[in-house]
Amino acid sequence: MFRMWVKLFADNRLVGDTVICDGSEDTRTHKVLSALDRACRHFDLPGPIWLESTIRDFREFAKCRFNKDSFVEQIDFDYMELHVIEED
């Protein structure tokens, strides 16, 4: 089972979170992108832009942050954090 915890923060406070589970046989990349898409739909957000620094952090730590610069549209929080909490 693959599980990713997606959290929204504003003023250093957790303002929203969800855990996305994926039991499919897809690759890790597909699971991550699918979980991010599902979380964005859950929070009614546009998809963020993956920058090189974001990709590097996610590969190294299985955790990354998307700040306001990662979104094309205006958002009402400071950053969104992805954290893989379980992998197959």
Coil, strand or helix: which one is 37? Answer: helix
Q: pLDDT, tens digit, for every residue of 32-85?
A: 999 999 999 999 999 999 999 999 999 999 999 999 999 999 999 999 999 999
pLDDT score for 88: 78
pTM of the model: 0.91
Q: pLDDT, tens digit, for every residue of 8-20?
A: 999 999 999 999 9
Spell out the domain ranges in the chain. Answer: 2-86
Alpha-carbon dihedral of residues 51, 55, 56, 61, nearest 10 degrees?
130
pLDDT score for 53: 93
